[in-house]
Structure 1
């Protein structure tokens, strides 16, 4: 099953055992919905959430829908893998990924595309190998900050090197990369600023924890009117090889970048 995630921006997490959240997500403008069996679900609700996720993905969705299973070597992992394998989910999300071998096993045994969440220092260092078994890398910034022992309120600045490694690993493997969640639900201005920074780092989109973050996420990861206009002029002007364009030297890679930008723009 082929899954193209390069055109996805807003990736919405929600608890798999929350019917109201599922209904809202299905009617939303999210580009990808992830039904969560892991952090959003308490230990006593794991079985209920697993059954609810399978039931939910049996219904029609206007966007791709994934199931995030519990991590390798947890007591729920095996049953989650079996449920995901026999479900109609478009892909499986694996938390706390740290081993290429684990990802290969999961991809083989579920028969589905797998996306890996990089949430530990060990995962960051293994991300290049992990990327070879996945269709996307997702930065799990909350867990990563904890694993790096960053003080509360440190923000993402101390994680810049780790986040850039995740992007580099994804690009080297030719797959998508998504930034972590923004925790302040009512601070849409702060969310927009963090999403804009993530785009500048090379991420394709961002993971979300509330539908009200979808619109600012789309705005942050969509090219501006000025960017679109310039890309259109560049593509129209290019004749092949190195040449001058609006006072700058351009070549084939600039034309390819302009075409990628136009492909991501709803205005082009």
Structure 2
């Protein structure tokens, strides 16, 4: 797996059949864009959407933004053609909804390779059903080409007959935590689900903060107004950076003085704290260079 740090704080869905939206996306400061062929595209517009997103990827006009094409799910009448067209276009990633097993991951990788997907095109998978959640660990570890897991929290609520509530219900929180553990065990990236109320910025901020506290790499978004708050929520603050630098300096000073214990701001620090501090500084540097 690549050790490159690629920020994915804000991952914005854009409807593939809407050419105006695809054009506007070139100006939105999201880390990644999901050019969607699934939920946001009606059945009679699937072929138009497919042509639009292929043209968008081939245009090379999206700058630093990572481009993923979300295809229609396995078993639908559009899936095979979507995967073939997306593979030939060569985006940064192909996102497949409702992946439920390691076997499906392997079949998807085989389909991408058969269609000539370039080496840089990753596979991303959505986990959003009870079956997928129960097999999260084997899905995440199934193949090195699968690099990112995206949570489909709306579908988790729907398929468990739950309710959308502030702070998210217990089943959703359990699903998020369970899948995050599986993904981290596999050394992959995990993106939190969407927040539906686009006119509730306070609610979005609270949910983004919750996702960051849990350990998610970023959040999927449904409106451009959510991009900046997501970027803030999933970025290290100036205080975070200053604390990380101070912690490393204190640890190195203790080592030079042959002290068995290092302290910073009155607290003992260990190797694990330094690993976290280095990660924060590396991420901050990646944000500067994106």
TM bucket (normalised to shorter chain) is over 0.9
Structure 1 residue 76 corresponds to structure 2 residue 78:
yes
Partner of 2:280: 261
Output the CA distance in 1 between the equivalents of 2:179 and 2:70. Answer: 19
SS at match of 2:59: coil
Structure with larger Rg: 2
Partner of 1:223: 236
Contact 1:10-1:206 within 8 A present in 2 as well:
yes
With structure 2 as the length reference, what TM-score do the two structures score? 0.87
Partner of 1:137: 149
Partner of 2:169: 157
Output the CA distance in 1 between the equivalents of 2:59 and 2:3. Answer: 19
- Correspondent of 2:130 among 121, 130, 155: 121
Change (3 A) 1:267 1:87: closer
- Correspondent of 2:68 among 55, 66, 69: 66
Structure 1 residue 172 corresponds to structure 2 residue 195:
no
Total equivalences in the alignment: 268
Structure 1 residue 39 corresponds to structure 2 residue 48:
no
Contact 2:250-2:263 within 8 A present in 1 as well:
no
SS at match of 2:24: helix
Output the CA distance in 2 between the equivalents of 1:30 and 1:107. Answer: 27
C-alpha distance after superposition, 1:147-171 (max 9, x if no partner): 1110354762321111001111111
C-alpha distance after superposition, 1:36-95 (max 9, x if no partner): 000111111111111111111101121111100111111111111111111131110010
SS at match of 2:135: helix
Structure 1 residue 184 corresponds to structure 2 residue 197:
yes
Instruction: Give RMSD over aligned pairs.
Output: 2.0
Output the CA distance in 2 between the equivalents of 1:203 and 1:152. Answer: 20
Output the CA distance in 2 between the equivalents of 1:155 and 1:200. Answer: 13
Q: How far off its partner does 1:224 sit?
A: 2.4
Contact 2:250-2:262 within 8 A present in 1 as well:
no
Output the CA distance in 1 between the equivalents of 2:276 and 2:24. Answer: 35
Contact 2:191-2:220 within 8 A present in 1 as well:
yes
Change (3 A) 1:4 1:20: farther
Output the CA distance in 2 between the equivalents of 1:109 and 1:2. Answer: 22
Output the CA distance in 1 between the equivalents of 2:3 and 2:106. Answer: 17
Change (3 A) 1:20 1:5: farther
Change (3 A) 1:160 1:152: closer
- Correspondent of 1:94 among 87, 91, 96: 96
Contact 1:10-1:207 within 8 A present in 2 as well:
yes
Output the CA distance in 1 between the equivalents of 2:205 and 2:250. Answer: 33
C-alpha distance after superposition, 1:92-117 (max 9, x if no partner): 00101101111122123214311111
Output the CA distance in 2 between the equivalents of 1:141 and 1:42. Answer: 21
